[in-house]
Amino acid sequence: MKPGGRVAGYAGVLVLSFAVAVVSSYTPLGRQIDNDAYDWMFRLRKPSPWTPQSVILGIDEASFQALGGVRGLRGILSDVLERLAPLSPKVVAVDLTLSDAGEPAEDARLEAAMGRTGNLVLAAELMPGGTAWQDPLERFRQHASAVGHVHAAQDPLDGVNRQVPLEKAAGRERHWALSLEAYRLSRGAARIVESPEELRVNDLIIPARREDARAIYVRRLPSGPHGGTAIPRISAVELRDDPAAAESLRGKVVLIGVTAQSAARDRLMTPYSSEQPMPGVEIHANAFETLAQNRFVKAAGDTEVLLACGGATVLAGLVFWLLSGWAAYGTALGLLAAATALPYALFSRDTVFPPLALVASAWLSAAGAASYQHFTARRQLRRAEAEKTRYQQAVHFVTHEMRTPLTAIQGSSELMSRYNLNDEKRKQIADLIHSESRRLGRMIETFLNVERLSAGQMEMRREQVPLSEVVQVCLDRAQALADRKQITVERTVLEDATLAGDRELLEYAFYNLLTNAIKYSPSGARVTVAGRQASAGFRLSVRDEGIGMDRKEVESVFRRFYRTRRAIASGEAGSGIGLSIVEQIVSHHGGRIEVESAPGKGSCFTLVLPVPGDGAAG
């Protein structure tokens, strides 16, 4: 592979790893993994305890049993508000929707109790579908300092509450959250100042973006019993029966709500939940404490996430591009450990970073880069081994195929040096040496040209080659070998044709087929050469009456160094490389070789070569 192609392929692997990692983090499964990781980090890094500024006044099972049951809920609320008035709580927030009229006497009593309660926050709830509000009755609302919504965000994937939206709107009417209104009143702020990225209450800056419904992560106190949080709580019946417990409400922000598990529907699981979900009033109390303690956990922005994932991808790529072996893998493990630990490190600094995208980017990029480099190295090793094999084959060819002309040259030169020969004899031997040396040179040049063509290191010559001349030259050269075995070489139908190609290579290919036919035919046999024009190209065939081959041998005959069992048994010298070179020559000329053979019945090798103007061989 060229260096540019390798760089492009490597970059493509890294880009694909980055894209898969980022996209997977936006799938439902990816978001759930991020949620589970958040819950785990939330439980692992518990915030340092603080003194709560709020108290939960719960209407639990015992309160219902002692104070009139569920049907007497407004009477219980009236009793609670009447008992709270002398204690002067800082704020009283009621997590009960009072949008419907009840018993006239109960409503009158409740209205009177609300009139004596300062800094009262009443609850509003969105209608199903979010088209309108269920606001408290006007008779109650006129005594409230604020109305806040009581919706806590429930994750659509697992139903766990991790955030509270500080803003909800239906139509043109908007309400802030019950917890935010309670905080505002507790700080004596007249209004909430807003911008697209944050809210401000006096000096408190709340990182709550408008595009996220002003949602904030709830930073809960360490876990209390049954998966609850350690915010102080007192029940309605305790408020009635225990004056000392009631005194703990003095000067506090009191959130009133139903905590009985069997009587309320606003129960949500939280990262702290074990077996029992958390009542809505407790969720609102924790949201208030998050505001009161200024303990906000901010979510990392999409740009920050993409930059971090891109950085992990680039680093993984650089590791395996610049390093190798254990150094690369050791550095990559360090990168993976850092990517895995970074989300928790950021969480410890109050930033929620979705871990899946970063961890997946690092892991996929490292795995992709390592795999790419591994297979690239293997490809380079295979190429090196192929070059080594090619070199060994070349040496084998040189030592075997060139032995005959070298032997002739050596023998002739020895005769000239050892014996006193006459001029005519010396001229004959000199001509033989000259002829064999030229033959040896052509053989070397042919072999090197085939090797260069196979390696893509040279362009094949394209010249006009009269095929009848090529055939005649090869027949003349092979005639002596045929005479020694008393084999008749016949040139039957041979139409005239001119090919475009390399003459020397074509001569080598045809001469090899011709000498093979002679070598592996018995004495007195016949070798036939024929050539004719066909639709697929010019067909030049050499047919013998020799040992032949079976189908399996025909399929392997063009492999380098392959020789059939019958060829070996014949005693004829051979390297098994000639036919593989012939196939390469014909292939580079745009042609093909066809073989017909049967054991004991001879073989027919046909070169199908394209003729200019007739198209390539088909």
Calculate what percentage of the chain has a pLDDT beyond 90. 41
In DSSP notation, 152-180 reads: ----TTT-B--EEESEEEETTEEEEBHHH
**pLDDT (0 to 100) of residue 29:** 92
Judged against a pLDDT cut of 60, whether residue 594 lies above it is answered with yes
Task: Verify that 135 and 18 share a domain, yes or no.
Answer: no
Task: Verify that 152 and 203 share a domain, yes or no.
Answer: yes
Q: Which residues, including other chains, have CB under 8 Å from residue 606's CB and lie 6 or more apart?
A: 539, 540, 541, 542, 593, 594, 595, 596
The verdict on residue 246 lying in a domain is yes
Query: For position 478, which CATH number holds?
Result: 3.30.565.10
For residue 74, give the nearest of 53, 49, 46, 99 by alpha carbon.
99
Judged against a pLDDT cut of 90, whether residue 415 lies above it is answered with no
Judged against a pLDDT cut of 60, whether residue 331 lies above it is answered with yes
**pLDDT (0 to 100) of residue 118:** 92
Amino acid in the structure at residue 497: A
Task: Verify that 199 and 55 share a domain, yes or no.
Answer: yes
More confident residue, 438 or 404: 438
Cα 151 to Cα 594: distance, rounded to the nearest angstrom: 83
Q: How many helices (H) and strands (E) does the chain have?
A: 20, 25
Lookup: tokens for 327: 């150094």
**pLDDT (0 to 100) of residue 268:** 80
- Of 106-120, 201-215, 476-490, the one with minimum mean pLDDT is 476-490
Task: Verify that 486 and 537 share a domain, yes or no.
Answer: yes
**pLDDT (0 to 100) of residue 318:** 93
Using CA atoms, how far residue 602 sits from 30, 440, 518, 593, in Å, is 69, 30, 11, 16
**pLDDT (0 to 100) of residue 2:** 45
The verdict on residue 416 lying in a domain is yes
B/e letters for 83-111, b = 16+ CB within 10 Å, e = fewer, are bbeebebbbbbbbbebbeeeeeebbebbb
SS in 3 state form for 264-278? CCCEEECCCCCCCCE
Task: Verify that 126 and 177 share a domain, yes or no.
Answer: yes
The torsion angle over the Cα atoms of residues 181, 98, 245 and 118, rounded to 10 degrees, is 50
The verdict on residue 385 lying in a domain is no
Task: Verify that 467 and 327 share a domain, yes or no.
Answer: no
- End-of-domain residue from the set 458, 479, 495: 458
Judged against a pLDDT cut of 50, whether residue 615 lies above it is answered with no
The verdict on residue 394 lying in a domain is no
**pLDDT (0 to 100) of residue 618:** 35
**Residue range 592-617: mean pLDDT, rounded:** 81
**pLDDT (0 to 100) of residue 431:** 80
Task: Verify that 512 and 595 share a domain, yes or no.
Answer: yes
Task: Verify that 56 and 174 share a domain, yes or no.
Answer: yes
Contact assessment for residue 231 and residue 253, using Cβ atoms and an 8 Å cutoff: no
Q: Which residues, including other chains, have CB under 8 Å from residue 520's CB and lie 6 or more apart?
A: 544, 546, 547, 566, 567, 570, 572, 603
Highest mean pLDDT among 323-327, 345-349, 558-562: 345-349
Q: Which tens digit of pLDDT belongs to each residue from 437-480? A: 877 776 676 666 666 656 555 566 788 888 888 888 888 888 88
Looking at the structure of the chain, the number of domains it has is: 4
Radius of gyration of the chain (CA): 47
Q: Under DSSP, is residue 110 helix (H, G, I), strand (E, B) or coil?
A: helix
Tokens 């013998």 sit on residue: 544
Confidence of residue 230 (pLDDT cuts 50, 70, 90): confident
Amino acid in the structure at residue 207: P
> Chain-wide mean pLDDT for the chain?
85
Task: Verify that 216 and 99 share a domain, yes or no.
Answer: yes
Q: Which tens digit of pLDDT belongs to each residue from 505-549? A: 888 889 889 988 888 888 889 999 998 888 878 899 999 988 888
How many CB atoms sit inside 10 A of residue 418's CB?
A: 8
**Residue range 350-357: mean pLDDT, rounded:** 93
Judged against a pLDDT cut of 80, whether residue 361 lies above it is answered with yes
Task: Verify that 412 and 306 share a domain, yes or no.
Answer: no
Confidence of residue 572 (pLDDT cuts 50, 70, 90): low
Q: Which residues, including other chains, have CB under 8 Å from residue 315's CB and lie 6 or more apart?
A: 335, 362
More confident residue, 5 or 417: 417
Cα 440 to Cα 447: distance, rounded to the nearest angstrom: 11
For residue 140, give the nearest of 55, 78, 89 by alpha carbon.
78
Using CA atoms, how far residue 333 sits from 15, 25, 287, 305, 320, in Å, is 20, 22, 40, 21, 12
**Residue range 344-355: mean pLDDT, rounded:** 92
Confidence of residue 149 (pLDDT cuts 50, 70, 90): very high
Q: Which residues, including other chains, have CB under 8 Å from residue 422's CB and lie 6 or more apart?
A: none
Lookup: tokens for 369: 């880069």
> What φ, ψ does residue 587 adopt, rounded to 5°?
-65, -40
- End-of-domain residue from the set 260, 294, 328: 294
- End-of-domain residue from the set 378, 412, 446: 378
Task: Verify that 354 and 263 share a domain, yes or no.
Answer: no
Strands 173-176 and 298-299: unpaired
More confident residue, 42 or 569: 42
Q: Which tens digit of pLDDT belongs to each residue from 233-287? A: 999 999 999 988 888 899 999 999 998 877 656 778 887 766 678 888 999 999 9
More confident residue, 570 or 584: 584
Lookup: tokens for 92: 């009283």
Confidence of residue 616 (pLDDT cuts 50, 70, 90): very low
The verdict on residue 383 lying in a domain is no
Q: Under DSSP, is residue 133 helix (H, G, I), strand (E, B) or coil?
A: strand
Q: Domain residues for 435? A: 402-458
**Residue range 308-332: mean pLDDT, rounded:** 91
Cα 594 to Cα 369: distance, rounded to the nearest angstrom: 45
More confident residue, 432 or 470: 470
Strand partners, 608: 539, 592
More confident residue, 42 or 147: 147
Task: Verify that 134 and 252 share a domain, yes or no.
Answer: yes
Judged against a pLDDT cut of 70, whether residue 580 lies above it is answered with yes
Cα 177 to Cα 95: distance, rounded to the nearest angstrom: 11
Please give the model's pTM, rounded to 2 decimal places: 0.63
Contact assessment for residue 164 and residue 153, using Cβ atoms and an 8 Å cutoff: yes
The verdict on residue 39 lying in a domain is no
Q: Which tens digit of pLDDT belongs to each residue from 187-207? A: 999 999 999 999 999 999 999
Lookup: tokens for 448: 């090197």
Judged against a pLDDT cut of 70, whether residue 1 lies above it is answered with no
Q: Under DSSP, is residue 253 helix (H, G, I), strand (E, B) or coil?
A: strand
**pLDDT (0 to 100) of residue 374:** 77
**pLDDT (0 to 100) of residue 208:** 93
**Residue range 478-492: mean pLDDT, rounded:** 86
**pLDDT (0 to 100) of residue 452:** 62
**Residue range 603-615: mean pLDDT, rounded:** 81
Q: Under DSSP, is residue 441 helix (H, G, I), strand (E, B) or coil?
A: helix
Tokens 């593989």 sit on residue: 580
Judged against a pLDDT cut of 70, whether residue 156 lies above it is answered with yes
More confident residue, 223 or 523: 523
